Structure 1
Amino acid sequence: MAEVKISAEVRTEFGKGAARRTRRANKVPGVIYGHGADTVHVTLPGHDLMMALKTANALIGLDIEGRKELVIPKAVQRNALKGFIEHVDLLAVKSGEKVSVEVAVHTEGELAPGANLLEHVLSTLTVEAEATHIPESVTVSIEGLAAGASVLAKDIPLPSGTTLVIDEDAVVLQVLSAQAEEPAAEGEGEGAAEGAEA
């Protein structure tokens, strides 16, 4: 995964008022922690951070007023209505260091013929990988799976150097039979609607 470079500044003002001023300046407050070091409070350029976070588990090379720090995002708080980033927690990492992250599970292929539904029991897998080689996602084939079939965590191929953290027998995907609505239920609904109109 390519490293994204971002410049950051040490943050010395705290509280809601300071955070609002930071966001008005199109910057995002954040904290960096890890390796037993003291937590570092920073502000990051909003647009650069938003672009970096479009990639899952982005590896970010921070330049904090001349000091270099390699980090990955661990928690991102977004505004519930507008979606902009309000705060970010960053984990300091080192090249070659193993970290635990969640990666998205993607599927490829078609289910067996018939009206079957694919349920994502888990949308992400928790894996351990080198900080500089974190996979963006993992892909598993569902080609030909019929109703009743399931895909376990251990069935999903992982990139070299990546290992499972969750139980290998955890169900990630399962194929269900599509069930048509019962006509009786529909009839009852219509009757209720007619009664309401009367």
Structure 2
Amino acid sequence: MSEVKLAAETRTEFGKGAARRVRRENKVPGVLYEHGMVPIHLTLPGHELLMALRTPNVLISLDIDGKTNELAIPKAVQRDPLKGFLVHVDLLMVKRGERVVVEIPVVAEGELAPGGNLLEHVLTALPVEAEATHIPDSLPVSVAGLAAGAAILAKDINLPDGVKLAVEEDTAVLQVLAAQAEEAPAGEEGEEAAQA
């Protein structure tokens, strides 16, 4: 699991106008939540945060106003729907040794059995409980040789030490769907019947 250090500043101005001013400076408004504590409103560096968020469940070490260091994980990220830039981020403060529930991307590896079958990702990410500083980046799952009708359940996925499922064991994660027979183009069946 990667840890990224970011400098953050506390924010005292709120609302749309203040958020726009922050974004014009290539920064991102955000909120740091801690269990049972008053949220801390922050301004974060835009480009560095964008790069950090490319890693799922990244652990962020925040240097707040040069006074305190806090560990956090992304809780919610809002992006502009057209341009994709960061609009706002919610972070959850964590402590070393604390267990958190996060979603880990499932990565299918290998080739399905011959026959043109399709692999459906019922869940693209698997909810698990893990220690905040030891969250796996992804969960590889072998689908080699699976035929139509086969399914991989949550209990079938090998989890790293210290990681536990946060869903029912019988939850389907991946399944193999049978290839669909190609339909004849419209009109061909009528022509063949007329020629007979």
DSSP-derived class of the 2:149 partner = coil
SS in 2 for 1:37: coil
Once the two structures are TM-superposed, the CA of residue 187 in structure 1 deviates from its matched residue by 1.0
Measured after TM superposition, the shift of residue 96 of structure 1 is 0.4
Distance in 2, matches of 1:89 and 1:146, equals 42
Count the aligned residue pairs. Answer: 188
2:187, 2:178 → 1: CA distance?
24
CA offsets, 1:56-102, max 9 Å, x none?
Answer: 00000001011111000010000000000100000000000000001
User: 1:188: Cα distance to partner?
Assistant: 5.0
User: What's the secondary structure of 1:49's corresponding residue?
Assistant: helix
TM-score (norm 2): 0.93
Paired amino acid for 2:83: K
Give the TM-score of the pair, scaled to structure 1.
Answer: 0.92
Q: Please state which structure has a larger fraction of its residues in helix.
A: 1
Q: Distance in 2 between matches of 1:135 and 1:119?
A: 23
Q: CA deviation at 1:35?
A: 2.4
Post-superposition shift, 1:3? 1.6
Aligned residues with identical type, % of pairs: 67
- Runs of 4 or more consecutive aligned structure 1 residues displaced over 6 Å after TM superposition: none
Report SS of the residue matched to 2:51. Answer: helix
Could you tell me which amino acid in structure 2 is paired with residue 53 of structure 1? L
Deviations 1:133-163 (A, max 9, x none): 0111101100110001000011011111100
Aligned mates of 2:55, 2:150 — CA distance in 1: 31
Q: Cα deviations across residues 9-39 of structure 1 (Å, max 9, x unaligned)?
A: 0010001000000000000000011221110
- 1:70-85 aligned at under 5 Å gives the runs 70-85=71-86
Q: Over aligned residues, Cα RMSD in angstroms? A: 1.3
Distance 2:147 2:34 in 1: 45
2: distance between equivalents of 1:57 and 1:122? 17
| Structure 1 unaligned regions, length at least 5 | 192-198
Q: Kindly provide the amino acid, as one letter, of the partner of residue 23 in structure 2.
A: R
